Structure 1
Amino acid sequence: MTAIPVSDVDLYTEQARIDPYGIYSELRALGPVVHLSRYDLYALPRYDEVRAALMDWQTFSSARGVFVDPDVNARLEGITLCSDPPEHTAMRSVLGRPLRPDQMREVSPRIEAEADRIVERLAGQGGFEVVTELAEYLPMTVVSDLVGLPEHGQAKMLEWAAAIWNTQGPADDRAAAAGPAVEEFMAFATNDAVPGKITPGGWADQLYEAADRGEIPHDKCPVMMLDYVTPSLDTTILAIANVVALFARNPHQWDLLREDRSLIPHAINESLRLETPVPQFSRVLTQDHEISGTPLAAGSRVALLYASANRDERQYPDPTRFDITRRPSDHLAFGRGEHVCVGMHLARLEMSALLERLADRVARFEIKDSRSMINNGLRGFDYLEVAVESVP
């Protein structure tokens, strides 16, 4: 067995948050396991190893946190994302009820009506800012209302979510600056997002109803709000902006989709594969374990580089090409296994509704200006201005 390759690359510089793909390519070339010396992490940059780890929660545990900074990991132990079965199973069962496919069918008419409304308005303007005018619209109009938080909480959800994601890297300036907003959210979740102040029957209220039935402890309810605020907002917003940018850069692919709407699910998968909104999470080994011939000791923290795995040339021929006929349903942007994204059906529904209606109204997108988000846990656009050519 050969020595584990070592890299001192920093995945958290501003440039690396904007464009990490050169770094990912270097890491994949080094081997299936690479020691990132700056953070004492063992990174898995290739597809097969990341997928195998996601499917083996018993060995690759989330219970000691899934981020980078040890203090943050210690504070978040026990939340849904940072737990293992059976505790995780109980919390996920409660969280996932309003997000099941059958529940999404009930929500679908409302999402489609709002998608009609926003696309009708924007497509006739000749151009718009994708992030705030299009991508944020459904999450903030529909999803925040379904969660059922008090109005002043809904207004702060995007700020809080971005701050929470910023704590998922090292203890750097971005993480430090996010601290007050994270504390503000936790105070809100504990004191304001409670029965009597939240919408009866909303998703937040359903957490407390489940606690009253003894399905989860009452003290889990405030931290479980994280699972509705973070995954349901930024990740979907970024995914919507990313797919618009990809179609702007690849107009022939937009022509294909407009001609054949059955390609919409594959376009969503391909955009998530190529531009993964959540680039990585980590796990801790529960026992000595060998990964593709590389032995790692129990207690090692292992970073699963989803965004790198999704561009692994061993899995996807010509991986940097945006091809909506590729049909990459095996991508890892939503994770896999026990911790697969609980909100993925909702995200697909929102993206599908918008793409269907944009295809009716828009013949071409052209990027006029853009700015990348700089965040320790997310990747995508902070600003994306497009001109549109309307369908005659």
Structure 2
Amino acid sequence: MNPTHGPASDEVPAAAAAAAIPHLDIDPFSIPFFDDPYPAHDEMREAGPVVYLDRWNVYGVARYAEVHAVLNDPLTFCSSRGVGLSDFAKEAPWRPPSLILEADPPAHTRTRAVLSKVLSPAVMKQIRDRFMAAAEAKVDELLARGRFDAITDLAEAYPLSVFPDAMGLQAEGREHLIPYASLVFNAFGPPNELRQQAIERSAPHQAYVTAQCQRDNLTAGGFGACVHAFVDKGDITAAEAPLLVRSLLSAGLDTTVYGIGAAIYCLARYPDQWERLRRDPSLARNAFEEAVRFESPVQTFFRTTTREVELGGARIGEGEKVLMFLGAANRDPRRWEAADSYDITRKVSGHVGFGSGIHMCVGQLVARLEGETILSALARKAASITIDGAVKRRYNNTLRGLESLPVVITPA
């Protein structure tokens, strides 16, 4: 028994340190939690810098300072043992581990450098006009309809109209992309119904993605072909290239879909912020960024301790899972003024919605480009966005977003 989990009379110092860690009966992977995580976020932040969640036997950090500290110490809080609940040192992963998300330096440094070049700011400049034109066309189409679902018809449809082409994917089979990414993020959770169902249904999605990641199936000039070109330079192996393309497919789409969905949901609920954006469409990028902070599409990630460590005054043993609540950190009043309000003029740098440190979301530049272009087009072309019907949440062990958001928009 790990002495930090409970009283151990022969280890008084460890027991004394452990006594300072509050044990909470919160299940962060339950439907009631997903429906309204904010009271539990508050409870965890107020309970202490580190808490222990008895339901899954993991440590939790919900304050900004500790979440940021864990994200920025990859040697102590490693990713290679899995960024979900399962510990790869003790059980086999459900798929070959990601060379980006589930890797530590120095292996991570080498593969990450390749993706950073493929998705560099210079590359974003080259595709910007194409993405902007697609965003304007999408907004024109939706204005003509007037009423639509902001999730399926906008937050999913716009990224699906630009990202797979930029990747160089074949035209057929793209309907597997969103279910695949949803599966990946569900699999980070515990063995609950969401995870089990996702993995049970995963075969066709996995087969499609595996095939799409092969060099012969990717069109020239796309992100995927660019990844494979680094094999010829000797930077990565032929076996690593498809796994890196897979990382882009799982990281480059869902975060953007959920981020755009969050931004539309915020702008529809806060008309004063929508008016502000209409008056100054150059705020589009910040409006997207603030939505990522405020709604935190990626809510949680795990790390595993590589040694005994002190965090926020609490001692945590080696080989323990630590669950970071990114969404709670992004609304920590210790870090953010008026943390629970959506403000598109907020200085939002430093939020952990895309992570922080060496494992910061590799697709963030693409997500930001797509978020900015679609919100900018909306701000210039639409006069109003109104929620018009029941809002339905989508449940996922890691992601927070909507299944359905019926809206009406009027032309400017």
Identity %: 35
CA distance in 1, matches of 2:163, 2:409: 27
Cα pair 2:131 2:370 within 8 Å, conserved: yes
Indicate which of 396, 400, 411 corresponds to 1:379: 400
Instruction: Report Cα offsets for 1:113-168 as digits up to 9, x if no partner.
Output: 00110111112332221111111233211111121223334231112111222111
Deviation at 1:239, TM superposition (A): 0.9
Aligned counterparts, 1:245-256, within 5 A: 245-256=265-276
Aligned counterparts, 1:242-321, within 5 A: 242-321=262-341
CA distance in 2, matches of 1:166, 1:52: 25
Change (3 A) 1:192 1:330: closer
CA distance in 1, matches of 2:163, 2:92: 27
Cα pair 1:65 1:76 within 8 Å, conserved: no
Cα pair 1:62 1:81 within 8 Å, conserved: yes
Please tell me the residue identity of whatever aligns with 2:76. Answer: T
Indicate which of 86, 90, 96 corresponds to 2:106: 86
CA distance in 1, matches of 2:335, 2:163: 34
Bigger mean CA offset, 151-160 vs 351-360: 151-160
The DSSP-based 3-state class of the residue aligned with 2:354 is coil
The DSSP-based 3-state class of the residue aligned with 1:156 is helix
Deviation at 1:192, TM superposition (A): 5.1
Are positions 1:144 and 2:158 aligned together? no
Are positions 1:168 and 2:158 aligned together? no
Aligned counterparts, 1:42-191, within 5 A: 42-70=59-87, 71=91, 73=93, 75-77=95-97, 79-191=99-211
The DSSP-based 3-state class of the residue aligned with 1:302 is strand
Please tell me the residue identity of whatever aligns with 1:172. Answer: N
Instruction: Report Cα offsets for 1:218-242 as digits up to 9, x if no partner.
Output: 2223332331222211111111111
Deviation at 1:269, TM superposition (A): 2.1
Instruction: Report Cα offsets for 1:214-269 as digits up to 9, x if no partner.
Output: 21232223332331222211111111111111111110111111112333232222
Unpaired runs of 5+ residues, structure 2, are: 1-16
Cα pair 2:210 2:246 within 8 Å, conserved: no
CA distance in 2, matches of 1:196, 1:32: 50
Cα pair 2:213 2:246 within 8 Å, conserved: no
Indicate which of 366, 371, 388 corresponds to 1:346: 366
Deviation at 1:54, TM superposition (A): 1.2
The DSSP-based 3-state class of the residue aligned with 2:216 is coil
Number of aligned positions between the proteins:
391
CA distance in 2, matches of 1:246, 1:191: 37
TM-score of the superposition, structure 2-length normalised?
0.90
The DSSP-based 3-state class of the residue aligned with 1:135 is helix
Indicate which of 352, 355, 367 corresponds to 1:335: 355
Change (3 A) 1:23 1:147: same
Write out the 4+ residue segments of structure 1 that deviate beyond 3 Å after TM superposition: 70-78, 180-193
The DSSP-based 3-state class of the residue aligned with 2:310 is strand
CA distance in 2, matches of 1:183, 1:97: 31
The DSSP-based 3-state class of the residue aligned with 2:103 is coil
Please tell me the residue identity of whatever aligns with 1:161. Answer: A
Change (3 A) 1:373 1:78: closer
Cα pair 2:284 2:373 within 8 Å, conserved: no
The DSSP-based 3-state class of the residue aligned with 1:363 is strand
CA distance in 1, matches of 2:73, 2:239: 28
CA distance in 2, matches of 1:192, 1:55: 33
TM-score of the superposition, structure 1-length normalised?
0.94
Change (3 A) 1:229 1:218: same
Indicate which of 11, 15, 21 corresponds to 1:4: 21
Alignment RMSD: 1.8
Deviation at 1:74, TM superposition (A): 7.5
CA distance in 2, matches of 1:248, 1:262: 18
Change (3 A) 1:182 1:203: farther
